[in-house]
Chains A and B, each alone.
Chain A
Amino acid sequence: TQLLEQSPQFLSIQEGENLTVYCNSSSVFSSLQWYRQEPGEGPVLLVTVVTGGEVKKLKRLTFQFGDARKDSSLHITAAQPGDTGLYLCAGVYQGAQKLVFGQGTRLTINP
């Protein structure tokens, strides 16, 4: 069974702080995505990474794909209350087509 582990599962910090969440697997991904889900809504795609070592930025969010394409991180600079939500990583394993989700990191940014 291919597992995709996210850490931490819960994170509560003050507005203005920086944070990093991680997504790890023992298998290689052909692509990996990050989604954000707000209460009462479905997940919304933030970014897709496909190349080992790739870095993508979305305003204050920086996404990195590991060189070996087995892990990824999401770094948020100067977090704001609007960043609050459930962050999900999801990957397509090499040779597969199905998208596998991690259990998510529930982020709370306190004003």
Chain B
Amino acid sequence: ETGVTQTPRHLVMGMTNKKSLKCEQHLGHNAMYWYKQSAKKPLELMFVYNFKEQTENNSVPSRFSPECPNSSHLFLHLHTLQPEDSALYLCASSQAVASGGLSSYNEQFFGPGTRLTVL
């Protein structure tokens, strides 16, 4: 049990569907992240939320839309995806420092991921 949960664990969707991924962390952290993990590629950071504010959008296409209603919950809304978007989507959380910046250690705790397949 890592303290970070993700639902659903598996998702198959067509290119015209709209779906959402959900992440919840029970660690009292105040920074949350979305990563994309594809075969043969390093983990790709997509979005960072720090104290509920989006602080990074790593040139992610607009068909991915994040939402962070509070420091414990993070969503990734998906619409009109492409087959190349099929991947493992990982959520992570970490503890930001009091000044609002990320810790220089930035130790991250990951959820189990959502395996997304776009047909």
Interface residues of A (CB under 8 A from B): 4, 30-31, 33, 35, 40-45, 48, 50, 88, 90, 92, 97-99, 101-104
Contact = CB atoms under 8 A, between A and B. Distances in A.
Contacts of A45: 107-109
A50 B112 CA distance: 27
A88 B41 CA distance: 12
Nearest 4 Cβ contacts at the A-B interface: A42-B110, A97-B102, A101-B43, A103-B42
B104 interface: yes
Contacts of A44: 2, 110
A97 B113 CA distance: 23
B4 interface: yes
B56 A98 contact: yes
A99 B106 contact: yes
Contacts of A102: 42
B32 interface: no
Contacts of A48: 105, 107
A104 B37 CA distance: 11
B105 A31 contact: yes
Contacts of B8: none
A17 B107 CA distance: 30
B2 A103 contact: no
Contacts of A4: 42
Nearest to B50: A97
Nearest to A31: B105
Nearest to B115: A40
A42 B105 contact: no
